[in-house]
Amino acid sequence: MNQPKTRRQFLQGMTALGVTACVKKPAFCTEPALIQDGEFRTVSDCIPTATNIEGPFYVTDAPLRNDFQIWGDDGVAVSISGRVVTGDCSVGLSNGMVEFWHADPNGDYDNTSSEMKYRGVIMLDESGTYQLNTLLPGRYLNGTQYRPHHIHVKVWDVEGVELLTTQLYFEGDEYLTCDPFANTSLVMPFEGSLDTSIVASNIDLIV
């Protein structure tokens, strides 16, 4: 019997035997569900950021932090930065707050520990600038369907009034196509890749 000499030959042999790689594929997806509302919006567009559902895993009283890499978990490093602006988009949301929360790299939310992992509030300066360091959130099952990688976001003004609840998604995520919650305007462009590292700049939130 011929032995496979290359990875491709090995995989072809496996397929011939009816064995396929265990890959998270949205086999249920018969038609695209992604909401089409244009490209990611920046300050120069000055169109309010689309809202998205809060989801079931929001927890109040997250600590002030902008670094979610402090626990030393394995994962794809993600840097997200931008401005939170208001009005005609020339003005930062001075002294406002932006809050992020998401699943850990394994797709689990920390809903119970005192550490409140992968949750944090960032105070905004006068320009509304923020910067978040984190790890790529894992996909998790929602019913029978995996949600794409995503980060939940809230924006608050200086008086604590909630101005925005939304989610940010990652360009190139194959699970976006079938996700009924995601909007194209919330899909972040970035440098890098979903397998190595991600730097997303000019991720502006317009409220």
List interacting residues with Fe ion (CB under 5 A). Answer: 55
Query: Among all chains, which residue has been given the structure tokens 């005192």?
Result: 114
In the chain, what is the straight-line distance between the N-terminal and C-terminal CA atoms, in Å? 66
Angular region, 13: left φ>0, alpha ψ -120 to 50, beta rest = alpha
Question: Residue with CB nearest Fe ion?
Answer: 55
Please give the distance of CA 48 from its chain centroid, rounded to a whole number.
Answer: 18
Residue 186 Cβ vs Fe ion, minimum distance, rounded to whole Å: 13
Which residues are registered as beta bridge partners of 188?
Answer: 170
Residue 175 Cβ vs Fe ion, minimum distance, rounded to whole Å: 12
Q: Kindly tell me which of 52 and 79 has the beta carbon lying closer to Fe ion.
A: 52
- What are the tokens at 102? 């998401």
Q: Kindly tell me which of 89 and 146 has the beta carbon lying closer to Fe ion.
A: 146
Residue 121 Cβ vs Fe ion, minimum distance, rounded to whole Å: 17
Closest CA to 185 of 160, 205, 200: 205
Q: Kindly tell me which of 79 and 166 has the beta carbon lying closer to Fe ion.
A: 166
Residue 177 Cβ vs Fe ion, minimum distance, rounded to whole Å: 18
